Amino acid sequence: MAVDPIVVVGGGLAAARLATEYRAAGGEASVTIVSAEPDPPYNRPPLTKGFLRGEMDRDGPLVRPPDEYEDDVVELRLETTAERIDPDAHEVELAGGERVPYGTLVVATGARPRQLPLPGADLVGVHTYRTLRDAEAVIQAAEDAHAAIVIGGSFIGAETAASLRTRGLEVTIVEMGATLMPQLRCPDLSAELVELYRSAGVEVLLETQLEELTGNGRLLTGARTSDGRTLEGFLAIVGVGVVPNVELAQDAGADVEDGVVVDERFRTSLADVYAIGDVARYPDPTSGRMRRIEHWSNADAQGAHLGRQLAGARASYDELPVFFTQLFDRKLQVLGDVEPATDCVLRGSLADGRLVGFHLTEDRRLVGAVVHGESADVIAELGALIREKPVVDDPTRLADDSLRPADAVAA
């Protein structure tokens, strides 16, 4: 008996993991991945780290070798754009008019970089940073550009700035906020990061806004800040956030709110249509909040879970959100949901090589943590605590590195 086909729109990590786990779990339906990109699914984290530093070849970021999709009877349709979903006919219309039928449709369309609304943003040498081709273009530009300007001090900006500096470029970070990596919700740690970057020779301009990017004809030569400062730079990275690619699902009638809204099984408001990865706004079981998470581990876990689910598994999704970042030789891991935190109690420091930031809400509940240099046992202990969201009676105990996290939390 034929099984209705599965079509996945979007060719990132979430799509690749879904296909792999669906087949591994015994799923027998045909699987087609429709991707506008020219490359097979790849991991994005290496693009700002090892790949940008020249430590990894072009195949390094790939999720899996292309021939493995053939082995799993998964059709990769690259450089193919989905134009419209017809939920009544259960078809996806592609550019050119071809209509592809589906029994199950998975929207894994990810996100796109925000554009910079500044004069000069269209100069040659100004790059957003999202795709493998973006990374290759920046690497090529970095060969001749001895100075770079990184606009934005969040994940993309901070990671690319560190890698470009490692390549030997003079780097300036321009950040509108008061510190680097504000998403960490830990001011003391962010202040340490500023010192880390400055000690590595990166110029960090905080609470600074660009007025324009300047050029010589079509080519970028620098920038001017709103306070009149002139910066030199022949390469600029724009890292000012991303926008979820909701249009395809929204135009078909799906509920959208900063992402495509899904339930606990990743079902959208459209029959037989699911959404996962960066584009999905889902009920996070560990925090109890609707969230849209733009990190590798989330796309990996959601893709794998939905693949098994479509093959018949019934386990509920219960992943603790976790993500990593690498800034020079410092690797930070963030657990849980730090966004609601109003306080961060820091234990240790980057300079010491061991650090834990405990994130507390206004009512002193532990909801997240940022970790550097700790053992797997400590990280597992922190994860278990965050799932429980305990009230911390005496937050000062959290800073005592002689106490295990569970003992520090206990009254």
Residue range 375-392, pLDDT digits in tens: 999 999 999 999 999 999
Instruction: Write the secondary structure of 80-97 as one string of H (helix), E (strand) and C (coil).
Output: CCEEEEECCCCEEEECCC
Angle at 330 between CA 236 and CA 234, to 5 degrees: 15
Tokens of 14: 């979430």
Angle at 12 between CA 279 and CA 85, to 5 degrees: 55
Tokens of 206: 């905080």
Position 124 scores a pLDDT of: 97
Cβ-Cβ contacts under 8 Å for 107 (sequence gap 6 or more): 9, 10, 248, 249, 254, 260, 268, 273, 274, 275, 276, 279, 280
Beta strands in 183-268 (DSSP E): 203-205, 210-216, 219-225, 230-232, 235-238, 242-244, 260-261
Position 239 scores a pLDDT of: 96
Do 120 and 236 meet the contact criterion of CB atoms below 8 Å apart? Answer: no
Condensed to tens digits (0 to 9), the pLDDT of residues 206-236 reads 999 999 999 998 999 999 999 999 999 999 9
Q: How many Cα atoms occupy the beta-carbon half-sphere of 72 within 13 Å?
A: 24
Position 151 scores a pLDDT of: 98
Residue 25 forms beta bridges with which residues? none
The CA–CA distances, whole Å, from 14 to 49, 339, 373 equal 20, 23, 28
Q: Comparing C-alpha atoms, which of 405, 408, 373 is closest to residue 394?
A: 408
What residue has token string 């532990």?
366
Whole-angstrom distance, CA of residue 267 vs CA of residue 263: 5
Whole-angstrom distance, CA of residue 200 vs CA of residue 145: 19
- Please state the pTM of the whole predicted model: 0.96
Whole-angstrom distance, CA of residue 289 vs CA of residue 308: 24
Cα-to-chain-centroid distance, residue 174? 21
Whole-angstrom distance, CA of residue 26 vs CA of residue 310: 10
Whole-angstrom distance, CA of residue 235 vs CA of residue 49: 17
Q: Which residues of 243-257 are buried (b: 16+ CB within 10 A; e: fewer)?
A: ebbbebbeebebebe
- Collect the ranges in the chain with pLDDT lower than 70: 1-3, 411
Sign of CA dihedral 295, 301, 302, 304: positive
Position 2 scores a pLDDT of: 55
For the chain, give the number of residues: 411
DSSP, collapsed to helix, strand or coil, labels residue 324 as: strand
Beta strands in 35-169 (DSSP E): 74-77, 82-86, 91-94, 99-101, 104-107, 111-113, 126-128, 147-151
Cα-to-chain-centroid distance, residue 370? 16
Position 1 scores a pLDDT of: 42
Domains contained in the chain, CATH given: 6-112+242-310 (3.50.50.60), 115-238 (3.50.50.60), 329-409 (3.30.390.30)
Whole-angstrom distance, CA of residue 105 vs CA of residue 84: 12
